[in-house]
Amino acid sequence: MHVILIAGGWSDEREVSLSGATKIHSSLNELGHEVTFFDPAEDFKNLLSTAKGADFAFINLHGTPGEDGLIQAVLDKAGCPYQGAGAAASYLTLNKAASKEIFEDKNIQTPDWQLVTPVQGRNAELALDLPVFVKPNKGGSSLGMSLVKKAEDFPAALDKVFAMCQSALVETYIPGVELTCGIIGGKPLPLVMITPKSDSDFFDYENKYAADGAEEVCPAPVDDAITKAIQEQMVIANEALGLTGYCRGDFILTKDGTVHLLEVNTLPGMTPTSLLPRAAENIGLSFTDLIAELIRLGMEERAG
C-alpha cells in the first residue's frame, strides 16, 4: 500500500512525534509499504490532496493538531483510512475536563478537579485542597505541568499553562503507584508500572523520554485483582469515549488499593521508550507487528 506517515506538527510535542516517526517509518518499509512522510507544519495546504492519493495514513502526532481530531477530519473527507480514534472521539478525549466528566458518568473514579480559564485568570480561587497538579487541559507528555504545594505558587502555575493552552486543569494530587493500561482492538494489554527517578515528584517529560528516565516494569507487579479492575475500567472508558483501534490510559493506585483514572491518550507515544509498544511486546507483538495490527484495524474500520 501507499502509506502517508503524518508526523511533526506544530505542538510542543513536535520532537516526540518526530522521534517516534523514525521507527514507524522503518517498520512500514519492513512491511513492504511505499511510504510518504508528511509534516502538517510544513505542508498543511496539501494534506487533503496527498491523502486522496494514499491508501492509508499512519498518524503519529501529539497534542494539536493530531489528538484534537483535525487531521482525522481531513482524512475522512479524503476517504483515506487511518489508525486509531475518529475526529469526534479524539476531540473529546484530548479535553481532560470533558473526559473526566465521562469517567464520572460511568462511575470510574478520577481525582477531584476544577477547570480554570483565562476568563477567571491567574487569581482564580483554588477550590481543591493542596497539593494539586496544574496542567494544560489539552496536551500531553507532562509539558507545562506543575505540582503546587503552596497556595502562593498557584498563580504562577496558571501562568505557565495559559502561555501554552487556553485552559488549565487543576487536579488533586493523589500519592500512589503510577500504572498505565493500553488497549488494542478493544482488548486490554498487560499493565506497566512506572517509577519516576528518585529526584522527581512525578512522571515528567524527562522521565518519559530520557534514556535514563523512569523505571518501567511490564507486566506490573500488582495483584491480579488490581490488574483486572484497571483493565475493566479501561475497557469501559474506551467504549464511553467512543475510541477505536488503540489507546492508553494512565492510572494511580493508592496504598488502600483504590484506583484512579487520570486521562486517556488516543495517539500513544511510539518512541523506543514508549509504554504501549512495551506492553504489546509483552503479549508477543513486536513493534513492526504492532504497526501491522494497527493498520489492519484501521482498514477494517474505514476502508471501503
Residue of 263, 274, 298, 302 marked active site: 263
Question: Hey, is 104 helix, strand or coil?
Answer: helix
- Measuring CA to CA, which residue among 184, 192, 143 is closest to residue 165? 143
- Measuring CA to CA, which residue among 135, 140, 141 is closest to residue 116? 135
Let me know if 265 is a catalytic residue: yes
Residue of 68, 209, 249, 298 marked active site: 209
Let me know if 263 is a catalytic residue: yes
Residue of 20, 139, 248, 302 marked active site: 248
Which residues sit opposite 58 in a β-bridge? 5
Residue of 8, 11, 13, 63 marked active site: 13
Query: 39 and 92 in contact (C-beta within 8 Å)?
Result: no
Let me know if 176 is a catalytic residue: no
Let me know if 269 is a catalytic residue: yes
Residue of 238, 250, 274, 298 marked active site: 250
Let me know if 248 is a catalytic residue: yes
Query: 73 and 20 in contact (C-beta within 8 Å)?
Result: no
Q: What are phi and psi of 73, to 5 degrees?
A: -65, -40
Let me know if 141 is a catalytic residue: yes
Q: Where are the alpha helices (DSSP H) in 79-119?
A: 87-94, 96-105
Let me know if 250 is a catalytic residue: yes
Let me know if 46 is a catalytic residue: no
Residue of 269, 274, 298, 302 marked active site: 269
Residue of 17, 99, 141, 146 marked active site: 141
Residues assigned a catalytic role: 13, 141, 209, 248, 250, 263, 265, 269
